[in-house]
Structure 1
Amino acid sequence: MELARAATRGRLTVEQTLADRPSMALALKVVLSSGPAAVLALLAPLGGRRAVAMSAAALFTFTLLVGIGTPLYGAVLFHLPLIDHFRVPNRILLFAVFAVAILSALGLDALGAQPVRRVLPAIVLLATAVAFRAGGAMDAWTGAILAAPILLSLLPAGRLRAAGAWVLLGLVVAGRFAQRGNTVMIPEHNPDSFFDPPAVVGFLRQHVGAERVLLIPDWSHRFPMTDKVGSIFGFATVQDYEPLAPRAYHDLLAPLDDVNVDAPLFWGRFYPGPDHPGWRLLDRLAVRWVVAASGRGWRPRAQHYPLVYDDGSFQVYENPRALPRASLVPLAEVVADEDEARARVHAPDFDPRARVVVDRPLQWGTSEEREGVAPSAAVERITADEVVVRVSTPRPAILVLADLYWPGWRARVDGRERPIARANVLLRAVAVEAGVHLVEFRYAPWSVRIGAATSATTALVLVV
């Protein structure tokens, strides 16, 4: 919600929030995939002024689908009230589909009102579109439904054609509801045991801690170990199925694009092999555990990923190269430009244990050192909106938290406010002096505070 709000109120650009842009190809796909409906829609102007409004709506929608290549997209997305609810391209498609459907109906009426010899070319074109669509992976039922408008257009206008149209509509609806739905995750269609956590979940809950898990699923037996396994069973993962993934996340993990199953989009579903070069980046995101389904054949070399669990269905491997969720780094390199910072952290010689790239200078209250203090950073508590880290360091250092940098997060060191720097393009960093400290990260954006105050005021007014 915060991502969508920030995106539609100008604090983020479209490029930063969408992993891929809407395109002309998407707009054309809507028209071409509808086949006969598109042909009928082209005949709608024969019906007169009734088609003007829907034609304008269709033109407006398809212009939006072209995306940020047109000035209209940005102007509408950022300034037209309520349009931000349709910022995702597949939501904009709702307008396109509705407009094409109405125009198709108007075109069908116009087709029936014309002498046959005048509309014969249109009928031939419509039949060609039906044949083109039916020639693909389409059954006889669908082909018959698509061919029916041609027969209706040949009937005389009046009750007979209206009755035929209602029959056709009824057949389409009946055919849709006759299709088997997705009942995999519906309790009524599965025994209770289907939703029980597998044995591997118990192992993960005992050992994962604050570090993250990467899942290599078996697509033929996905449930209950899905891409949402972290949300379902309560441990941290580096994957998810989330269309609102920030573009900065995609850009940082660009070396994993060849194992991204949603490419060119980026929804967080990537499955690298044990020798994939993208593991250098996953190491920095505290990915210490790999859960591989037996059917996937994920077979690493033992010295790189020791096998720590095997129940026949899943194997768990430990990644000893992974950095912890919270770590101390001695040196900071200030790089304000995001592209330059990304190139720096992608460089083969970059060592995240020795240096962190930050977007602003860090300041320490004192440069004194403490003898007899062993360096450590232990996560004591972690929730969706709070992370508490106990830090011990003999000299001034930078605490790097391998969590997403985002506006609204605030940090306190021993109860005092401390600015958060953007670390290694995507993460959070805070300066800490020598000694033992309690560092608290809390998510408290102004939007939440304003919303809470508004709700409290409204409740008070209602009570009074």
Structure 2
Amino acid sequence: MSDAPLPDRDHHETEHPPAPWPTARVMLLVCAGWLALSWPWLSGAVTIPWDAKAHFHPQLQFLASSLHRGLSPFWTPYVFAGSPQVADPQSLIFSPPFFLIALLNPAPDFRWSDGALLGSLLVGALCLVLIFRDRGWHPAGAVVCALSFAFGAAAAWRIQHVGQVLSLSYFAVTLLLLSRALERSSWRYGFAAGLAAGFMVLGRDQVALLGVYVLAGLVLAAIAMADKPLPALRASLMPLLLGVIGATLVATVPILLTAVLAEESNRPVIDLAGAGKGSLHPGSLLTGLIANLYGASGPLENFWGPPSPAWEKRFGPLDLYLARNMGELYLGLLPILLVVGVGIVRGALLRREIVALSVAALLVLVFALGRYTPGFALLFHLPGIDFYRRPADALFILGALLAILGGYLTHLVLTDTAPRPRRWQIGLEILLLLAAFAAAIWLAWTVGRLHVAVVPLVTAVLCLILVAGALVAARGLALQGAGMAAAVILAATMVVDLAVNNGPSESTALPASMYDVLRADSGNETIALLKRETARTAGPDRRDRIELAGIDFHWPNASLVHGLDNTLGYNPLRLGLYSQATGAGDHVALPDQRTFSPLMPSYRSLLADMLGLRFIATGVPVEEIDKRLKPGDLVQIARTKEAYVYENPRALPRALLVTEAQQADFSAILKTGQWPVGFDPRRTVLFDKAPPPLPTGPAQPGSVRIRNYGTTEVLLDVDAPRGGFVVLNDVWQPWWQVEVDGKATQLLRANVIFRAVQVPTGRSTVRFVFRPFDGLYHAIGERIRKANPPPV
């Protein structure tokens, strides 16, 4: 049907009936290529580094260990003194492949997490193969598309960004299911497409958002371009309705949880100027032809592309904030040459069957270029765009669209249905190719990095010869009816090309031994010491916290792996109240990233003591991080290979029983860092409202004991001879509730950032429990009441 997001097979076929499409053989060929290109990671020789290990692997390990210990993974006490995982889009709780791994393995190693990520790209690639089969496009085109999708552009160079890679994979799955839903007017495929789209948007990242816009645009274009748009619209309504229902079932609750959390988090809205700092520089487009032109795969000092000190020294400041791997567009030389030559110069991308995808790719490219195109300012007004700071993230979706276009153009060439080139077109294609190489050489010479660019330039020339020869050979075989032989030749060419140009690099593959501290069975000396010391100081009312600061990029979330209560961590999304109170930032890999706040100006502060921050491990002497420290404020207890380890002897217990209360202005305390005169948290608790009355009488000693401390439940035994307040020095968050002797009681926000509850005279049992869905229900109800006040 012509009302599918990708139109049906073209009408340039021969009069002979087509041979059966070799689905199984093409899929096996793609799987073989995938295995060859994935083997460095699957073998364990290297692992996907950076965020994939520093952020996401600890999340997977926490999820797995929680499930196998019978605990809920919805809250973790192991980073930022407590964090709501259920609302964190990067916690992997709602990611089927990673959740399945967590169910199967209590301690998944790096190959499990790497395999899940690479496997998700394989699933997306195979879905694109099925799109080609549905349209009867040449099997070799399907192979080129699939390998280019899975190992090209951002999918290869930014595979460490786990959430975005998962969103990209779901985009391909949704595209297949949505195409079938509309082609066949199938509500089943529509519902399945909705489920896949729901999992895509659960990534809650910019790749997912752009994927939704692209899919919506393709649907609208398909209906508008149908021979009979009105019947096409009617036939599409039921599949689309079921798709909406499927997506709603999957995504509504998690997205609402994140939306409500975002209101109390540190996450800002990004303005147009701020987003522009994450734009793709036009000079980066040369990497579509010459992979690693700017030295992105090697040592950081070799990188000379935009933005880099070398580039800005020659051309001036760019005010861009992109990592070196964020501008890589290389998809394989074959698809990019066909897109430019056959697709653009000869006009094949304007054919009815593909023009909607061509327009989508152009719009996504305009978006990726950000402030370098006037169109970005218009696209920036689309809902949701102002939550994200990097237009260059669009390279994920752009890579997928160009992969499809490249595969389609391969189909045209191998079936001899591509437009016949005129002399001027051949001349223009050669001129564009030479101009690109000339621009690359000029830039490298101008910046003074020609010696770095020589190898990529020579590699590109050799690949050009390889690709040209392979395409001629494949075309000859295809026209003789040996379609699978042609597919094998192009698959082998793509594997060699992508292995050489997009293979393991410093951005995508580092020795697994570098991340030993993130293994559940790690024997790391610093971690072992912290485990011993926190066990030594544990008591009936104590559960001491640690801090890992300025050691290395992958250290902050190590506490998630090893079950250590950490005051910091690595996450761009944190509770805003906690960040304001403690100065906690997204990361603390470098010593200068440990910033303090008015309320916690130093490790020698009352808030640090109240947090129970007992042990601090730093990559440099702690005085280089905290300039306010005086001799004796902290006691150095060890010097390990990675860290200096200190003890804070003033750290308070996790649970306290106090018999005095007073009202205080929490906003003023946060702003000034000044506690009320004479405030002692061992005797008095502060509330932001008038405190409930307590029984009068002489003070008598009481006690509070931690009976059980889980992830989402804390059980305390209390003995309060004259009543009082139990203060739990865990972060206050409104989704926590409290019960006293099984009866729901008011949870009180205490001492600015902690939790408290009033307890009666005598013995009682206090149960703090995390109930995010109840919290979401009440939060929505409160917003409805505010939006619809009762009449006066």
Q: Structure 2 length as normaliser, TM-score?
A: 0.42
Deviation at 1:319, TM superposition (A): 1.8
Task: State the match for 1:123 in structure 2.
Answer: 433
Task: State the match for 1:459 in structure 2.
Answer: none
Whether the aligned pair in 2 keeps the contact of 1:123 and 1:150 (CA below 8 Å) is no
Q: Matched residues in 2 for 1:58 and 1:16: separation? A: 37
Whether the aligned pair in 2 keeps the contact of 1:7 and 1:13 (CA below 8 Å) is no
Structure with the higher fraction of residues in strand conformation: 1
Task: State the match for 1:252 in structure 2.
Answer: 581
Whether the aligned pair in 2 keeps the contact of 1:306 and 1:319 (CA below 8 Å) is yes
Task: State the match for 1:211 in structure 2.
Answer: 544
Whether the aligned pair in 2 keeps the contact of 1:305 and 1:318 (CA below 8 Å) is yes
Q: Matched residues in 2 for 1:71 and 1:166: separation? A: 44
Q: Matched residues in 2 for 1:168 and 1:112: separation? A: 25
1:271-292 CA distance string (max 9 Å, x none): 879xx82534434422122234
Whether the aligned pair in 1 keeps the contact of 2:556 and 2:587 (CA below 8 Å) is no
Task: State the match for 1:405 in structure 2.
Answer: 732
Structure 1 residues 125 and 204, CA gap change in structure 2 (3 angstroms): farther
Structure 1 residues 63 and 376, CA gap change in structure 2 (3 angstroms): farther
Deviation at 1:384, TM superposition (A): 0.9
1:430-457 CA distance string (max 9 Å, x none): 2335555432112234489x9xxxxxxx
Does structure 1 residue 427 correspond to structure 2 residue 760? no
Q: Matched residues in 2 for 1:396 and 1:76: separation? A: 50
Task: State the match for 1:29 in structure 2.
Answer: 280
1:241-262 CA distance string (max 9 Å, x none): 34443444334333x5598448
Task: State the match for 2:716 in structure 1.
Answer: 389
Unaligned runs of 5+ in 1: 78-85, 336-340, 451-464
Structure 1 residues 235 and 35, CA gap change in structure 2 (3 angstroms): same
Deviation at 1:206, TM superposition (A): 1.7
Amino acid at match of 1:12: V
Amino acid at match of 1:286: G
Structure 1 residues 257 and 166, CA gap change in structure 2 (3 angstroms): same
Whether the aligned pair in 1 keeps the contact of 2:279 and 2:391 (CA below 8 Å) is no
Task: State the match for 2:384 in structure 1.
Answer: 74
Does structure 1 residue 288 correspond to structure 2 residue 536? no
Equivalent residue for 1:298, pick from 622, 642, 654: 622
CA RMSD of aligned residues (A): 5.3
Q: Matched residues in 1 for 2:703 and 2:736: separation? A: 23
State the SS of the aligned residue for 2:695: coil
Whether the aligned pair in 1 keeps the contact of 2:380 and 2:386 (CA below 8 Å) is no
Q: Matched residues in 2 for 1:287 and 1:91: separation? A: 38
Q: Matched residues in 1 for 2:635 and 2:403: separation? A: 58
1:301-356 CA distance string (max 9 Å, x none): 4421134x336656543224444323456335476xxxxx4453242322473553
Structure with the higher fraction of residues in helix conformation: 2
State the SS of the aligned residue for 2:757: strand
State the SS of the aligned residue for 1:28: coil
Higher relative contact order (CA 8 A, sep 6+): 2
Equivalent residue for 1:347, pick from 642, 662, 672: 672
Q: Matched residues in 2 for 1:156 and 1:177: separation? A: 22
Sequence identity percentage: 18
Deviation at 1:382, TM superposition (A): 1.2
Does structure 1 residue 12 correspond to structure 2 residue 314? no
Equivalent residue for 1:171, pick from 492, 497, 500: 497
Does structure 1 residue 94 correspond to structure 2 residue 396? yes
Q: Matched residues in 2 for 1:246 and 1:321: separation? A: 26
Unaligned runs of 5+ in 2: 1-84, 90-251, 289-328, 331-335, 371-375, 476-488, 624-628, 778-792
Whether the aligned pair in 2 keeps the contact of 1:42 and 1:107 (CA below 8 Å) is no
State the SS of the aligned residue for 1:123: helix
Deviation at 1:111, TM superposition (A): 12
Q: Matched residues in 2 for 1:172 and 1:428: separation? A: 54
Q: Matched residues in 2 for 1:17 and 1:57: separation? A: 34
Whether the aligned pair in 2 keeps the contact of 1:380 and 1:389 (CA below 8 Å) is yes
State the SS of the aligned residue for 2:622: coil
1:149-171 CA distance string (max 9 Å, x none): 87799x69962697799636523
Structure 1 residues 271 and 398, CA gap change in structure 2 (3 angstroms): same
Amino acid at match of 1:442: V
Whether the aligned pair in 2 keeps the contact of 1:130 and 1:147 (CA below 8 Å) is no
Does structure 1 residue 2 correspond to structure 2 residue 86? yes
Task: State the match for 1:310 in structure 2.
Answer: 638
State the SS of the aligned residue for 1:304: coil
Amino acid at match of 1:212: R
Task: State the match for 2:363 in structure 1.
Answer: 59
Q: Structure 1 length as normaliser, TM-score?
A: 0.66
Deviation at 1:411, TM superposition (A): 0.5
Amino acid at match of 2:275: M
Task: State the match for 2:565 in structure 1.
Answer: 236
Q: Matched residues in 1 for 2:675 and 2:420: separation? A: 70
